[in-house]
């Protein structure tokens, strides 16, 4: 905070990383006040000493502890979801977990290519993505169950199950994607990080659910002589 004659000139708050060596100060400025502030900034140091209004020191371990807690929460949540999928859907649950793992690899890979940093909100976005990916696979398997109860053979039931679930999954993920875009557009800092991870997760979820999971199920059923669905499903 800079002061001159006991008058605050400007007190900007950094809400997101300053990338590329340039930033932007937003606020309720008029053209004249914006030009005056620009002149003061370009002029270099103010012709007065700075007054420290408030000073705080935050230990480096605080952020580290938060990240570690988030990582443990992600691990425990993922393990609980994996246990449920294996118990409820057996071999098909394993197929879903393979697809979810690839989902996470895709997200992290794209973020690495883009140079994005995985923050605590980003970890929350990954955990939410795992839930959405599992939900997509559960919906597919329940549709397959319905087709089996209607008396269709295994191959026909699998094909119909994926086809019936496609529209529902795309519609639900599309509404979430719209929310992610709005958060990225209007948010800043951590909110944007969460929105990026969530949006990438939506694309990865739809891709893995209808390519990886479908491929694994198709390869397995084609290799079985009896062409029967496993008992847990």
Sequential DSSP letters for 96-131: HHHHHHHHHHHHHHHHHHHT----HHHHHHHHHHHH
d(CA 202, CA 130) in angstroms, rounded, equals 10
Instruction: Give the residue-averaged pLDDT of 113-142.
Output: 85
**pLDDT value at residue 63:** 61
Q: Return the pLDDT at 2.
A: 46
Lowest mean pLDDT, pick from 29-33, 114-118, 142-146: 29-33
Homologous superfamily assigned to 61-223: Multidrug efflux transporter AcrB transmembrane domain (1.20.1640.10)
Structure token digits, residue 99: 């697809």
Tens of pLDDT along 151-201? 888 888 888 999 999 989 999 899 999 999 998 888 777 788 888 889 999
Q: 49-98, pLDDT tens digit by residue?
A: 556 665 656 555 556 677 777 778 878 888 888 898 888 888 888 999 99
Placement of tokens 């979430």 in the chain: 176
Distance, in Å, from the CA atom of 180 to the CA atom of 32, rounded to the nearest integer, reads 36
For the chain, give every residue range classified as CATH 1.20.1640.10: 61-223
The pLDDT score that the predictor gives to residue 208 is 92
Q: Do 205 and 126 meet the contact criterion of CB atoms below 8 Å apart? A: no
Which residues share a beta bridge with 4? 7
203 pLDDT above the threshold of 90? yes
Q: Given this model, what pLDDT does residue 169 score?
A: 92
Q: Average the pLDDT over 214-231 and give the result.
A: 76
pLDDT of residue 190: 77
End-to-end Cα spacing for the chain: 63
Q: What integer pLDDT is reported at residue 3 of this predicted model?
A: 46
Q: What is the spatial distance between Cα 40 and Cα 9, in angstroms, rounded to a whole number?
A: 9
The overall average pLDDT reported for the chain is: 79
**Chain centroid to CA 218:** 29
Tokens of 217: 């199920």
């Amino acid at each position: 905070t800079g002061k001159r004659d006991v008058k605050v000139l400007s007190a900007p708050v950094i809400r997101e990383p300053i990338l590329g060596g340039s930033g932007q100060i937003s606020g309720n400025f008029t053209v004249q006040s914006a030009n005056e502030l620009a002149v003061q900034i370009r002029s270099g140091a103010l012709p007065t000493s700075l007054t420290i209004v408030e000073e705080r020191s935050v230990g480096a371990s605080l952020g580290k502890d938060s990240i570690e807690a988030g990582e443990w929460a992600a691990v425990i949540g993922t393990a609980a979801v994996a246990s449920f999928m294996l118990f409820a859907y057996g071999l098909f649950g394993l197929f879903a977990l393979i697809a979810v793992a690839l989902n996470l690899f895709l997200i992290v890979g794209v973020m690495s290519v883009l140079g994005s940093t995985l923050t605590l909100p980003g970890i929350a976005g990954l955990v939410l993505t795992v839930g959405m990916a599992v939900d997509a696979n559960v919906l597919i398997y329940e549709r397959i169950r319905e087709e089996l109860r209607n008396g269709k053979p295994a191959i026909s039931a699998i094909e119909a199950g994926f086809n019936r679930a496609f529209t529902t999954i795309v519609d639900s993920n599309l509404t979430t994607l719209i929310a992610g875009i709005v958060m990225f557009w209007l948010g800043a800092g951590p909110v944007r990080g969460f929105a990026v991870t969530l949006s990438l997760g939506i694309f990865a979820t739809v891709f893995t659910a209808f390519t990886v999971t479908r491929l694994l199920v198709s390869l397995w059923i084609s290799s079985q002589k009896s062409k029967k669905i496993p008992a847990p499903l």
